[in-house]
Amino acid sequence: MEIEAQTGLAGGSDRSAETRGKILDAAVQEFSANGLAGARMDQIASVAGVNKALLYYHFDSKENLYSAALEMISTKTRDATMATFLRDASPGERVLRSALGHFDRILAQTEFQSLMQQEMMRLHKGESGAMDLLIKRVFAPMLAMYQSMVREGIASGELIDTDWLQIHLASLGTNVFYFMSSQLWRELLPYDPFSPEVLAERRKTVVHFLGLAIFRDRERGAELAEKVLADTPMPEIRVDKSPFGVKHERKK
């Protein structure tokens, strides 16, 4: 028995696995750009270079394909994140590293963030969809690890004595908010908030600020921030920035 068959519903050959991969990639693109309702099955088929009927052959429905795409990208993201937590370093340093990793991951791959935002809004409306699974398999383990990391840091006296969730929210929230509102900053700030230079500066500021905010000894926080930044280069920014996805408009 093979190891796959997690996401797809049909067949199991090499060829079909490859095709499913192409479809999933196209689906991630289309869904992250247009949302579940806004995405067009024809567009996904066209980008994947296959016939529309094939989407229904492999994944039974639009929702099914959506779930599969969501699961694929989430698993990827989880594995990348968990790696940060497991480094050999003090809890405080790992908190800084994970904040930086989060920043870089959003930079390098917008799709996950975009899909999550949409999924949050769907969850709000009670259309849980594929989220239940993700919560158990992706978010719960990540959060548990984060929690024990921060608690360890508080217990050892390295970090200030505050709610561990607050540190988590402050780290992630700042990044998510910045990228979420990116187009707003573009209009509001007198400089381009997504030029490589400005991004590098933001990255620094995020980590330094966190260093000043959460460490008992602010000087140590600043030093660690410096160290973490020094050995983590900023990822390449993808060039396909703004026009990401295709608009679908009704004709008049």
Chain contacts with DNA (rule: CB under 7 A): 10-13, 15-16, 18-20, 39-42, 49-54, 56-58, 60-63, 248, 250-251
Is the CB of 20 or the CB of 102 nearer to its own copies? 102
**Contacting residue, 148, 156, 183, 195, with its own copies by CB under 8 A:** 183
CA angle 163-132-96, nearest 5°? 35
The residue whose two tokens read 């003090």 is: 90
Question: With binding defined as CB under 8 A, does residue 190 bind its own copies?
Answer: no
Judged by CB under 8 A, the chain residues 52 through 111 that form the site for its own copies are none
The full 3-state SS of 91-160, as one line of letters, equals HHHHHHHHHHHHHHHHHHCHHHHHHHHHHHHHHHCCCCCCHHHHHHHHHHHHHHHHHHHHHHHHHCCCEC
Give the whole-angstrom CA distance, residue 170 versus residue 157. Answer: 20
251 binding partner (options DNA, its own copies, none; Cβ < 5 to 8 Å by kind): DNA
Residue 60 is encoded by which pair of tokens?
Answer: 């039974």
Q: How far is the CB of 125 from DNA (least distance, A)?
A: 14
Q: How far is the CB of 116 from DNA (least distance, A)?
A: 21
Q: How far is the CB of 252 from DNA (least distance, A)?
A: 7
Q: How far is the CB of 24 from DNA (least distance, A)?
A: 12
Q: How far is the CB of 36 from DNA (least distance, A)?
A: 9
Give the whole-angstrom CA distance, residue 201 versus residue 247. Answer: 32
**Contacting residue, 126, 197, 233, 251, with its own copies by CB under 8 A:** 126
75 binding partner (options its own copies, DNA, none; Cβ < 5 to 8 Å by kind): none
Is the CB of 57 or the CB of 139 nearer to DNA? 57
209 binding partner (options its own copies, DNA, none; Cβ < 5 to 8 Å by kind): its own copies
Provide the 8-state DSSP code for 49: T
61, 44 contact by CB (below 8 A): no
Q: How far is the CB of 10 from DNA (least distance, A)?
A: 5
Q: At 239, is the secondary structure helix, strand, or coil? A: coil
Sequence-distant (6+) residues with CB within 8 A of 94 are 84, 85, 87, 149
Question: With binding defined as CB under 8 A, does residue 175 bind its own copies?
Answer: yes
